[in-house]
Structure 1
Amino acid sequence: MTTSPTTDVTASDSPGVSGAEIRLDRVTKRYPNTAAPAVEEFTMTIPAGKVVVFVGPSGCGKTTTMRMINRMVEPTSGTITIGGRDALHIDPDQLRRTIGYAIQQAGLFPHYTVAQNISVVPGLLKWDKKRIAARVEEMMDLVGLDPGTFANRLPRQLSGGQQQRVGVARALAADPPVLLMDEPFGAVDPITRGNLQDELMRLQSELGKTIVFVTHDFDEAVKLGDKIAVLGDRSTIQQYDTPDAILANPANDTVAGFVGAGASLKQLTLMRVRDVEYSTDEVMVVTEDEHPATVADRLTKAGRTYALVVDDRHRPLRWVHVRELAGRSSLLQVGKPVGDAISTQSTLQDALEAILTEGGRAVVTGSRGEVVGTIDITTVTDVIAGVREEHGVGEAG
């Protein structure tokens, strides 16, 4: 990140971490005329630079607990510190400007353009116009939206996934140390949801924010969380641990109910593409400005039939077969669009689904969507077989 916020909440000074530690100590929320508190004496330390996921049934208090961190809900009692500062002694408006907030269906201002939506908090912080414009462009690039194409569009002109990307960009625009996310991907289709999850993991690997993420989907919690807090009624903590520890040893029947059947197989989703040896040279990569005859000659000499066409930023565009090149004067619009590319942050389950969709091999992308290699079904199935054997998972597992 190239800019620093004006903030009362300070980030950790650990290398590679821009997030701040959050401590909640005996935090309680009581609403008037209710017999029991919505949240009762909630105590937790959320490490700086980590993703902590609150998962639990509807009405258990997980969203209320998260919203007390930025004081959109005022706690009745208890203390909350962020980066060592007492959040209850910071002006609420100033506090919220230093904590990113992303919600379901993005919550964008409908009559603001994409650029105007992203610039809201920097504007409130009195950044100058030149700095805001540079930051908007940086944020759009970060979440994979071309500023030239999308900056002046209104939210209604975007897909659901694009809206959520803008929502994340807006939440990160002032470079906050903490990001709160309340079921942000719950309203999009499963494929888009998986892509957005991958995007969040990619961003987090680069930014090192402290993220508190609320969901009712345990599989999403396993995929995203460095730690998971399984919450019960009144936000009582049933178990707070790493995903693999919860999958291996659920603390009680409530947690076991969330884990569900096939816990051993769920552990396979903890493995990322970055953890396996995906190929970096199995596919010929060509740029759109290369002449089709040159590409055909290169393919023939290499004994290959397909090339991967990329744009000027090395992002995947299309697969092109050698027989599609004859008589062509340009690679523009030639070939089949790349479907489900995956990132190095994707799980092996995501990789397997993409490989099956793409016909046996999927493109692997890096931190800016650039091609870093490919992965095939043999690689994934070999790894899965090894993990199943290690965990003692039988054929019926």
Structure 2
Amino acid sequence: MTEQSAAVSKSLRTENPTGVQITLDHVSKTYPGAKSPAVDDVSLQIPAGDVVVFVGPSGCGKTTTMRMINRLSEPTSGKITIGDKDALSIKPTELRRSIGYSIQQAGLFPHMTIRQNIGLVPGLLKWDKKRIADRVDELLDLVGLDPAQYAGRYPRQLSGGQQQRVGVARALAADPPVLLMDEPFGAVDPITRSSLQDELLRLQSELGKTIVFVTHDFSEAVKLGDRIAVLGQQSKILQYDTPAAILANPADDTVAGFVGTGASLRQLGLVRVKDIDLESRPTAHLGDSVDALRAELAAAEHDWAVILDHRERPVSWVREGRLRQANIVDDVAEPLNELISIQATLQDALEAMLAEDHASAVVAGAGNRYQGVVTLETLITTITHLRHTPNAPAGVDSTDVEP
């Protein structure tokens, strides 16, 4: 791994990770009656505080490999070390309570409230009631759900995306150093999925857990992973490296098949919106008179403005030409259907532009407050830069490349 690609892999990690290293040493799994192992002699080191993504075809053994870490699937042979502890020497129930686990469709208990679901593992660990209640409220805030509004509801009363947020909160409830995630966002629509990915990146930047994430979606692996393990049949490790290194130099034809023909576009998934200089646009607030905005736009380079609510959140946009026909901006504002997070990738930004048929995308930061816009010109410059310097760390200086 080059120093530059290592810099990319560390760009999202907190300075003080709470995760621990995981080591798989010649681990195999053979099911009773099977002629060959489902997982054959896997050795892998997962650094503390990293997000490592297992990606591979269906049936290759990636989920079984991950589930052996918390012994939901017992290894037939080999050794697994979590931190400085031999996982096989710990009682399975104790081990699982010390490792967060998040699965597709959240896996929430339907007869329990959201508070009860999140507080389940702390309760099993004999935390006192006040500590559990405080932890539940803290985690709901952390995943963007108001405790007063959601804690007393049942899973059926939440959307799919909200349920997945609760599933992540439950996995984090006992503050585990390790989080296992088995295609947790696979059952939601693409827009919600992108939002959940952004939320996970934000949480990881704050918490620094060691996360093992299973997916069949290589684009998701590029977006989320500090490192990617591309697995073949029986979990044979075909390549284990940073996303930048794999995109630039696939180890063999099988890995190249995962990367696909759009490697240059996929490299947009290596750069976060937060790592580039955003452009500004004129703004106004709901209820404002059009006079000041009309004058500002007349003197500006661009002919449209972003409309914010009282909490500085972008809610709509307006064209200069329509301001002639209105007294307040609300009368002529158009809905802002595609809003991207500061944690999103430039690939997300491109998809938002295509969905809106626009040459730019509006960016929101903490609390969904307006941050600026990212433009198609920035994306083209970034693709050119990455094509010439594929292992460059995040943060692209557009002056480095001729337009």
Alpha-carbon displacement from aligned partner over 1:299-339 (angstroms, at most 9, x marks no partner)? 24533763432354x444444678599677x97x9954432
The one-letter amino acid of 1:150's match is Y
Within the candidate set 324, 334, 338, 2:336 is matched to 338
- For structure 1, which segment, 344-353 or 38-47, has the greater mean C-alpha deviation from structure 2 after superposition? 344-353
1:19-58 mapped onto 2 (5 Å cutoff): 19-58=19-58
Q: Does 1:127 find its partner at 2:127?
A: yes
Counterpart of 1:303 in structure 2 is 297
2:376 matched to which residue of 1?
377
Q: Is the 8 A contact 2:106 2:163 kept in 1?
A: yes
Over residues 260-289 of structure 1, what are the superposed CA-to-partner deviations in whole Å (9 max), with x where a residue is unaligned?
Answer: 22323322322221222112x424264x6x
Distance 2:313 2:173 in 1: 24
For 2:190 and 2:215, locate their aligned partners in 1 and report how far apart those are by CA, in whole Å: 15
2:276 aligned partner: 276
In the alignment, is residue 350 of structure 1 matched against residue 344 of structure 2?
A: no
Partner in structure 2 of residue 241 of structure 1: 241
Following the alignment from structure 2 to structure 1, what is the Cα–Cα distance between the partners of residues 54 and 366? 26
Task: Tell me whether 87-96 or 64-73 shows the greater mean CA deviation.
Answer: 87-96
Distance 2:263 2:382 in 1: 17
Give the 3 Å change call, closer, same or farther, for CA 96–159 of structure 1 in structure 2: same
Partner of 1:255: helix, strand, or coil? Answer: helix
Which structure exhibits the higher relative contact order, with contacts defined as CA atoms closer than 8 Å and separated by 6 or more residues?
2
TM score, norm. by length of structure 2 = 0.83
Query: Does 2:228 match 1:228?
Result: yes
Partner of 2:81, secondary structure, is strand
* Cα offset, 1:64, TM superposition: 0.6
Matched residue type, 1:42: V
- In the alignment, the residues of structure 1 paired with residue 183 and residue 305 of structure 2 have an alpha-carbon distance, to the nearest angstrom, of 40
The answer on 1:292 being equivalent to 2:292 is no
8 A Cα contact 2:54 2:213, kept in partner: yes
Shift of 1:390: 5.4
Q: Tell me the amino acid that sits aligned with residue 263 of structure 1.
A: A
| CA distance, structure 2, for counterparts of residue 50 and residue 361 of structure 1 | 32
Matched AA of 2:161: G
Q: Within 5 Å, which residues of 2 pair with 1:1-16?
A: 15-16=15-16
Mapped contact 2:306–2:314 kept (Cα < 8 A): no
CA distance in 2, matches of 1:178, 1:311: 39
Higher mean displacement: 216-225 or 382-391 = 382-391
1:345 alignment partner AA: Q
Q: 1:104: Cα distance to partner?
A: 0.6
Say if 2:179 and 2:211, in contact at 8 Å, map to a contact too: yes
Q: Would the alpha carbon gap of residues 367 and 73 (structure 1) be closer, same or farther in structure 2, given more than 3 Å must change?
A: farther
Cα distance in structure 2, aligned partners of 1:307 and 1:198: 22
TM-score (norm 1): 0.84
Q: 1:258 aligns to what?
A: 258
Distance change (3 Å), C-alpha of 1:320 and 1:157:
farther
Q: Which residue of 1 aligns with 2:84?
A: 84
Does 2:160 align with 1:166? no
Change in CA separation of 1:102 and 1:368 when aligned onto 2, cut-off 3 Å = farther
Letter paired with 2:355: T
**Counterparts of 1:184 and 1:324, CA distance in 2:** 48
AA of the residue aligned to 2:344? S
The 2-side partners of 1:373 and 1:214 are apart by: 33
Residue 364 of structure 2 corresponds to which residue in structure 1? 365
Preserved contact between residue 161 and residue 188 of structure 2 (Cα < 8 Å): yes
**Cα distance in 2 between the residues matched to 1:68 and 1:117:** 24
Task: Tell me how far 1:219 sits from its aligned partner.
Answer: 1.6
* Contact in 1 for aligned 2:267/2:383 (Cα 8 Å): no
> Compared with structure 1, are the counterparts of its residues 360 and 162 closer, same or farther at alpha carbon in structure 2 (3 Å cutoff)?
same
The alpha carbon displacement at 1:179 in A equals: 0.6
Describe the SS at the equivalent of 1:162: helix
Deviation of the 1:32 alpha carbon: 1.2
Worse overlay, 60-69 or 318-327: 318-327
User: C-alpha distance in 1, partners of 2:388/2:98?
Assistant: 47
- 5+ residue gaps, structure 1: 1-13, 392-397
1:29 offset after TM fit, Å?
Answer: 1.3
Task: Give the conservation status (yes or no) of the 8 Å contact 2:294–2:323.
Answer: no
Q: What letter corresponds to residue 39 of structure 1 in structure 2? A: V
State the secondary structure of the residue aligned to 2:45: strand
Give me the whole-angstrom Cα distance separating, in 1, the residues matched to 2:260 and 2:137. Answer: 43
In structure 2, the residue matched to 1:200 is 200
- C-alpha contact (below 8 Å) 1:142/1:368 kept by paired residues: no
Partner deviation per Cα, 1:171-212 (whole Å, 9 max, x = no partner) = 112211111000111111222222211221122122111110
- The answer to whether the 8 A contact 1:299-1:307 is kept is no
**Contact persistence 1:27–1:76 (CA under 8 A):** yes
Cα separation, 2, equivalents of 1:285 and 1:97: 50
Find the residue that maps to 1:69 and give its secondary structure: coil
1:83 and 1:141 mapped to 2: Cα distance? 29
